[in-house]
Structure 1
Amino acid sequence: MQLKESHIVPQLDNPIRFQEYAVGIFSSIPTKSAIKKAIKKELIFIDEQLATTAKFITGGEKITLFASEVSPLFKRFEMPLEVVFEDEYLAIINKPAGILVSGNTFKTIDNALQQNIQKSLQFDAVRPRPVHRLDYPTTGLLVIGKTSASILALNNLFEQKKIKKTYFAICIGKMMPAGTIQFPIDEKNASSAYEVLQTARSKRFEFLNLVQLHPTTGRRHQLRKHLAGIGNPILGDQQYGIPNLILTGKGMYLHAGILEFTHPFTKEPMRIEKELPKAFTKIISSK
C-alpha cells in the first residue's frame, strides 16, 4: 500500500474516540462514515498499528492513511463564500440563505470550504470544518475550524456557552418591547432573550418588528419555535409560521449577526459583526 496522508495529533485536554477525532483530518475521507469504511478496509494506522473505531486518541499519535482502494478524492462544491475573518486557526464566513451547512448531500457549506478558506500552516492542519450549524434558510456568521486543536477548542467554547451569539429577525405581530422566552424544546430547558429595535405597521401583518435575539441555550430551531410560541413568528418561516401569514418566495428573515468570544489561541477578545441583509432594512423602512 502507498502512503497517502499523515497527521500528528496535538496534545489534547481529554481523550477522544478516534472515529470522532478523525473526521476532517484527511482530505479524501472527510466524513465519519468514510472514516469507518477506511478503518474496515485496514487503510488507517495509528502509531503503525491498525486503527479501530474503539481506539481513544490522547495526543502525540501519528495517524497514517494509505491509498490502496481508498475512495476517490472528495469532490468540492464550487461556490464562492464571503470570508469575514480568517487566521491560521479559524475562519468565520457569512452563510447565505438556502443552503445546508453540512449533511448527506453534495451542495453544502462544508463541501465549499476548501476553495474559500486558506489551508492552515499549523502542524495539525485539517480540512476546514464548520463547528456549529445554522438552519438552511438562516443567513449570517458561521465559525470554521482549520486545525484539529482549534476544532476541539471551539467545540468546547460552544459547549461551555462561552461564544455569545446575537441574531436579528423580522417578526410578525404586536410585541412587547423586550422579554425572555422560556419554555422547553424537545423536553429540554430553553431560554431566549429578545429586544424590539424597530416596529413598522403593515397592512398584511399588522406589525413587523426588527428584533435582536440572544439565545442562552442552543436547542434545534430554538429561536424559531420560541418566537412562534409567543405568537410572533419570524417572517417567511415556512415551518413555524402562522398559516395565513406566511410570506413565500422571499426566504426567512433570520440573521446571525454578531459573534463574541475569546480567541482560543491568541487569547484576544473577538467581536465579529455582519450587517443585516438589505432585505431586512428594506422591508422595515418601506412600511
Structure 2
Amino acid sequence: MRLPIRSLLCSWRLGNSSTADTGRRQLSGPAMRLVQFCRRSEEGAVRVGVELDAGQGVVDLRDFDSSLPNTMREFLETGERGMEQAHRALSSGKSVVSLSEVRLLPPVTAPEKVVCVGMNYRDHCLEQNAPIPKEPIIFSKFPSAITGPYDDITLPEESKEVDWEVELAFIIGRKGKHIKEEEALSFVAGFTVANDVSARDWQMRRNGKQWLLGKTFDSFCPLGPALVTTAALKDPHNLGIRCRVNGDTVQDSNTNQMIFRTEKLVAWVSQFVTLCPGDVFLTGTPPGVGVFRKPPVFLKKGDVVECEIDEIGVIRNTVI
C-alpha cells in the first residue's frame, strides 16, 4: 500500500516568468524535503532520505537504490540522476523508515565551504544604526562548526557572550564558477534553517575584530531540519523568519528584508571561488540578537533556542 504523500512533494514545478520565480527559469526538478539521518540502531551510519508528511517517516534512498551514495554531499554530486531517483523513491511508497527509528543529522556534513554573509538584513542594519552595505560582506565558519537540528550548542569556556542568529541557509547543488545572476538558482539544491551562533566578545573585541574565531567554535552552526528543494518553495525571499529563546520570541522578520538575495550571493562569491555541491551559504540575520538588547542578553546553560522559517521548518537546540 502506497503511503499518502502531499501533492507538493509529488509534483514537478518548472520555472515560469512570475515575479516570485524570477531567476528560476532554468531550474526544474522535484519538490522534496531531503534529509541526512542515521537509524538509531546504526549510529554513525549516515543515510540520505526524503521526508514524508509529518509523522509518516523517511524514505531511505540507499535502501531503495543501492547505487545511491550515503551522504548528502555525494548525493548532490550525482546531479539530476540522484534527484530523479529520489523522486521515484518518494512516489513508490517503499523503503520507509519510521520516525521513531531515525535521528536527523545536519542536511549536509563536511561541506567544502561554509560561506556566511554579514549585515544582510535592512532591519538588522537599522537596529545597529549602520549603513546599508553596497557589496556583500563575506566571512566563513569552519565546517566543523556544523551540528544537527536538535543537537546541543556547547558554551565554550573561552567566551561569556554567546549569542543567537536565525538565518536562511542554502546549499549548492552543482559545481560552478563565474555564475551569472540569472542562472544562479539553477546551482542551488535547496534551502534550510541555520543558527549562526556567535561569541560576540571574540567577534567584536578579540583577534583584531576579525569575525572568524567568534563564529566557528564547535557546535556554532546548527543546521536543518531538511534541505527543502527550491521547487518546493513559493519564494525563498518572502518567508517569515523567527527565533525563540526559552519560548520567548527574540527575532521576528521576513526574508524579504535581505539586501543581497540568493542569486546575487551565488554570483558574487563565485567570482572568487569555485562553488561545489554541498557548499553551505548562511545569508544573514534579522534584528533581535542579544548583543544589541539593552542590557545585552547572552545564552546560558539550559537555554533552548528555536530557529524557524516558514515552509522550511524548525531547529531546536539546548545550550549546555
Bucket of the pairwise TM-score, normalised by the shorter protein: under 0.3
| Higher fraction of helix | 2
TM-score when normalising by structure 1 = 0.26
Relative contact order (alpha carbons < 8 A, sep ≥ 6): 1 or 2 greater? 2
TM-score when normalising by structure 2 = 0.24
